[in-house]
Amino acid sequence: MLLLNRAVVPGLRQACRLKSTPLRLCIQACSTDDSFRPHRPDSTFSGDSSSTGGWRVMGTLLGLGAVLAYHDHWCRAAQDSKPRIYTKEEVSSHKSQKTGIWVTLGSEVFDVTEFVDLHPGGPSKLMLAAGGPLEPFWSLYAFHNQPHVRELLAQYKIGELSPEESVPPTLEIADPFADDPVRHPALKVNSQRPFNAEPPPELLTENYITPNPIFFTRNHMPVPNVDPDTYCLHVVGPPGGQSLSLSLDDLYKFPKHEITVTLQCAGNRRSDMNKVKEVKGLEWRTGAISTARWAGARLCDVLVQAGYQLGETEAHVCFEGLDSDPTGTTYGASIPLARAMDPEAEVLLAYEMNGQPLPRDHGFPVRVVVPGVVGARNVKWLGKVSVEPEESYSHWQQRDYKGFSPSVDWDTVDFDSAPSIQELPVQSAITEPQDGDTIQSGEVTVKGYAWSGGGRAVIRVDVSLDGGLTWHTAELEGEKQPPRKAWAWRLWHLQAPVPAGQKELNIVCKAVDDSYNVQPDTVAPIWNLRGVLSNAWHRIRVHVTQ
Ligand code: MTE
């Protein structure tokens, strides 16, 4: 009924603008309005020509009921020519079915409560914008910005944003993070300062290539604002060799190399470890992982120009970022020289991400991309490269991003006893449905991602609907990747019948890589005090409606 009422509104408004309009006129206006296109994809409104007369009668009756019920209300509303004004705070308090679901576009406010279930991309996608602006989502999914979508949205308009609300907030000069870039509102923020955020699961596997604005972000310090015109990368040469000071233009002169690489933070899925026993670290869920097409100069080409030889092995390439804390300490990490000098390892000094200059959050203007290796070694805002006999002395190489036995605690941990994490173990996670969702009986579609470190290809993903008693094989999407160079994830899906009579499903996934490494079944035996390397079977529970 509400939908119908919305649909008749244009006609009613028109009629009510004429003061003391007879009710008859209102009905006429409604039933002849060409724009009356009910938006529920429901056979009741299909407009089948064989039964047009019957539908017309029913439509008129329904229209009459609607008009009687709402005539006064709409006439009053229509006579008040001023739009209702809302504050952003009011809008942001409307983000559930209980309160109503409001969104804004420009200065207009819309109540889309009735439309959420009809959203072609699924309710959860529209809910990401609930209580806030649609623009950031429309820029990500540009097909929305079309006349028919705007027309549809117009039916839900309830007012305007207060004009003062459009004044941008002022920056606090003393705040070291004040110059951080603006972020996409879809990101689930784990910490604001420094900024750490992950895309929500339903967006994470929407695309094989993660759009730049929702690529997970892991910052330890404020984002440096680097001037590309004066940017200079220092590459320390070998004894007797030459050091290089490379501008961006110098880097562009090296052969441009382009590869698709998945980056994953060592703390991805830390939240699962926290459930077993508290760990120290940000509460990453399944989204500290993303995939991009990176382009730049190969590190080995740059090192060769600085005088290093291909085939050199015994040393480490240390990277320093331009981001620093108040004491001037910069972010740093290292990888073995053997990997850096191996052309097949394809380590990049990347200046492009998905065909664009790197976004500021992801290392503008230059970052290291080390395929198959933990995110922490992919140093952003790269300032310096040097070859050293030891690993980087940075905190993040020596005192973090290492794995320990579950029996080690903060009183007994000896960071020198464990190697720094480089290649990551095999990983997978379910992104759809989500834990706690309700699904229909009949068939369930399960979606997710799988990836393994060191270029090991994912060869299979097993999915169970009964907690691991029985298994289905998921369909791997996309193409096979070259052996030993499977740098990017495989997305996967499974469509399977929901076992009859089940009220709840315990859905599990696990991936197998081409070394037949498989994820461990439970978290407890791999628990560690920093909550890194969390790759146990991913488990969710969903309710089934009959
Ligand atoms: N590089 C610098 N300079 N500073 C950082 O804080 N974080 C590291 C790595 N490189 C970091 C950095 C970590 S821990 C990860 S997981 C990745 O960047 C995250 O890269 P992203 O933010 O582009 O996703």
Q: How far apart are CA 246 and CA 230, in angstroms?
A: 10
Q: Are the C-beta atoms of 532 and 267 separated by less than 8 Å?
A: yes
Q: How far apart are CA 100 and CA 131, in angstroms?
A: 9
Query: What spacing in Å lies between the alpha carbon of 214 and ligand 1's midpoint?
Result: 15
Measuring from atom 21 of ligand 1, which residue has the nearest CA?
217
Active site residue 218: yes
Q: Choose the residue to mutate in 187, 191, 214, 220 for probing ligand 1, maximizing ligand atoms within 8 Å of C-beta.
A: 220
Active site residue 13: no
Burial 132-143 (b: 16+ CB within 10 A, else e): bbbbbbbebeee
Q: Which atom of ligand 1 is nearest to the CA of 368?
A: 10
Q: Which atom of ligand 1 is nearest to the CA of 266?
A: 16
Query: What spacing in Å lies between the alpha carbon of 218 and ligand 1's midpoint?
Result: 5
Active site residue 26: no
pLDDT at 58 (0 to 100): 40
Other C-beta atoms within 10 Å of 93: how many?
14
Measuring from atom 19 of ligand 1, which residue has the nearest CA?
218
Q: Name the stretches of the chain with pLDDT < 50.
A: 1-79, 169-173
Q: Which atom of ligand 1 is nearest to the CA of 323?
A: 3
Q: Please identify which of the residues 16, 265, 300, 318 carries the catalytic annotation.
A: 265
Q: Please identify which of the residues 76, 84, 119, 543 carries the catalytic annotation.
A: 119
Q: Tokens for 358? A: 């790197």
Query: What spacing in Å lies between the alpha carbon of 471 and ligand 1's midpoint?
Result: 36
pLDDT at 147 (0 to 100): 80
Q: Please identify which of the residues 184, 218, 269, 367 carries the catalytic annotation.
A: 218
Q: How far apart are the first and last CA of the chain?
A: 26
pLDDT at 126 (0 to 100): 87
Query: What spacing in Å lies between the alpha carbon of 466 and ligand 1's midpoint?
Result: 37
Q: Are the C-beta atoms of 308 and 387 separated by less than 8 Å?
A: yes
Query: What spacing in Å lies between the alpha carbon of 267 and ligand 1's midpoint?
Result: 12
Q: How far apart are CA 220 and CA 380, in angstroms?
A: 11
Query: What spacing in Å lies between the alpha carbon of 375 and ligand 1's midpoint?
Result: 6
Q: Are the C-beta atoms of 254 and 297 separated by less than 8 Å?
A: yes
Active site residue 543: no
Percent of the chain whose pLDDT exceeds 90: 72
Alpha helices, DSSP H, located in 388-478:
395-398
State yes or no: cis peptide before 433, omega within 30 of 0: yes
**Residues paired with residue 86 on neighbouring β-strands, in sequence order:** 161
Q: Choose the residue to mutate in 374, 378, 384, 396 for probing ligand 1, maximizing ligand atoms within 8 Å of C-beta.
A: 378
Active site residue 490: no
Measuring from atom 2 of ligand 1, which residue has the nearest CA?
380
pLDDT at 174 (0 to 100): 64
pLDDT at 142 (0 to 100): 53
For residue 246, the surrounding DSSP H or E stretch is strand 244-246
Q: Choose the residue to mutate in 193, 198, 218 for probing ligand 1, maximizing ligand atoms within 8 Å of C-beta.
A: 218
Q: Which atom of ligand 1 is nearest to the CA of 219?
A: 6
Q: Which atom of ligand 1 is nearest to the CA of 217?
A: 22
Q: Tokens for 317? A: 């390439």
Q: Which amino acid is at 525?
A: P
Alpha helices, DSSP H, located in 18-87:
23-32, 52-79
Query: What spacing in Å lies between the alpha carbon of 497 and ligand 1's midpoint?
Result: 41
Alpha helices, DSSP H, located in 80-205:
88-92, 123-127, 135-140, 147-154, 201-204
Query: What spacing in Å lies between the alpha carbon of 372 and ligand 1's midpoint?
Result: 15
Q: Please identify which of the residues 144, 399, 460, 472 carries the catalytic annotation.
A: 144
Query: What spacing in Å lies between the alpha carbon of 171 and ligand 1's midpoint?
Result: 25
Measuring from atom 5 of ligand 1, which residue has the nearest CA?
219
Ligand 1 pocket list (CB less than 6 A): 215-220, 263, 265, 321, 323, 331, 362, 375-376, 378-381
Q: Which amino acid is at 62?
A: L
Q: How far apart are CA 508 and CA 468, in angstroms?
A: 7
